[in-house]
């Protein structure tokens, strides 16, 4: 697809980017989710290999790195690798879809650099660190150690907000989702969101 575009949503963990992306996939039929590869274990019974992530062994992931199969990849936490497979983007563009990404901040910047003008890089932010902590605790999926690690990383990630094309405040849900639709429609140019 020569006109395929990439919409990149990045944020510190807990900022709401996954909720936004899930909404856009329902509201904008020409968008398709780019499934990331990871070595982290499945967290809940709701997570499905090939739908939420491609869950790979560390050995398999490293083999794909050696074979230059990733657009971008990173060891986000010790032993937990994440990356975007070139074959995934090619698959989605061959279906005449625009690709939407839900990635961490470093991954988002690498994707922005790779796709250049074909990409819109959106930084999703919350009002402050206290709100982010409340969201992480509300998930009930993290240990205290994990929450503290994510909060420390979030403080660092927020310093990269200015390197994205646009920032989206994750506040009142309805307003946030409408603003996300507007960003996509403005970038793609065809009013693809219902």
Half-sphere exposure of 5 (CA within 13 A, CB side): 17
Task: Note whether 16 and 124 are within 8 A (CB).
Answer: yes
Question: What's the CA gap between 120 and 140, in Å, rounded?
Answer: 32
According to DSSP, residue 159 is labeled G
- Give per-residue pLDDT as tens, 54-94: 999 999 999 999 999 999 998 987 889 999 999 999 999 99
Distances (CA, A) of 94 to 86, 91, 144: 12, 5, 43
Reply yes or no on domain 6-188 having CATH 3.40.50.300: yes
Res. 138: pLDDT tops 50: yes
Question: What's the CA gap between 37 and 34, in Å, rounded?
Answer: 10
Structure-token pair, residue 114: 């790779």
- Give per-residue pLDDT as tens, 91-129: 999 999 999 998 889 889 999 999 999 999 999 988 777
- Collapsing DSSP states into helix, strand and coil, what is residue 165? coil
Q: What is the pLDDT of residue 33?
A: 93
Structure-token pair, residue 14: 């807990």
Question: What's the CA gap between 28 and 50, in Å, rounded?
Answer: 21
Question: What's the CA gap between 10 and 112, in Å, rounded?
Answer: 11
According to DSSP, residue 51 is labeled T
**CA-atom Rg of the chain in angstroms:** 16
Structure-token pair, residue 64: 């794909």
Structure-token pair, residue 57: 């062994």
Q: For residue 1, what pLDDT band results from cuts at 50, 70 and 90? A: very low
Q: Where exactly are the structural domains of the chain?
A: 6-188
Task: Note whether 160 and 123 are within 8 A (CB).
Answer: yes
- Give per-residue pLDDT as tens, 13-70: 777 889 999 999 999 999 999 999 999 988 888 899 998 899 999 999 999 999 999 9
Q: What is the pLDDT of residue 9?
A: 96
Q: What is the pLDDT of residue 2?
A: 56
């Amino acid at each position: 697809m020569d006109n395929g575009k990439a919409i990149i949503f990045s944020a510190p963990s807990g900022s709401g980017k996954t909720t936004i992306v899930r909404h856009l996939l329902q509201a904008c039929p020409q968008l398709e989710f780019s499934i990331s590869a990871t070595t982290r274990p499945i967290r809940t019974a709701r997570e499905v290999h090939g739908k939420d992530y491609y869950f790979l062994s560390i050995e398999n992931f490293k083999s794909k790195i050696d074979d230059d199969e990733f657009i971008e990849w990173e060891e986000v936490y010790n032993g937990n690798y994440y990356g975007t497979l070139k074959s995934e983007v090619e698959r989605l563009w061959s279906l005449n879809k625009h690709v939407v990404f839900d990635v961490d901040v470093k991954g988002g910047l690498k994707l922005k650099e790779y796709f250049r003008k074909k990409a819109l890089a959106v930084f999703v932010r919350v009002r402050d660190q206290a709100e982010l902590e409340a969201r992480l605790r509300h998930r009930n999926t993290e240990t205290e150690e994990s929450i503290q690690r994510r909060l420390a990383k979030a403080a660092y990630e927020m310093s990269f907000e200015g390197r994205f094309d646009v920032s989206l405040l994750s506040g009142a849900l309805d307003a946030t989702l409408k603003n996300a639709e507007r960003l996509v429609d403005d970038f793609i140019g065809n009013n693809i969101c219902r």
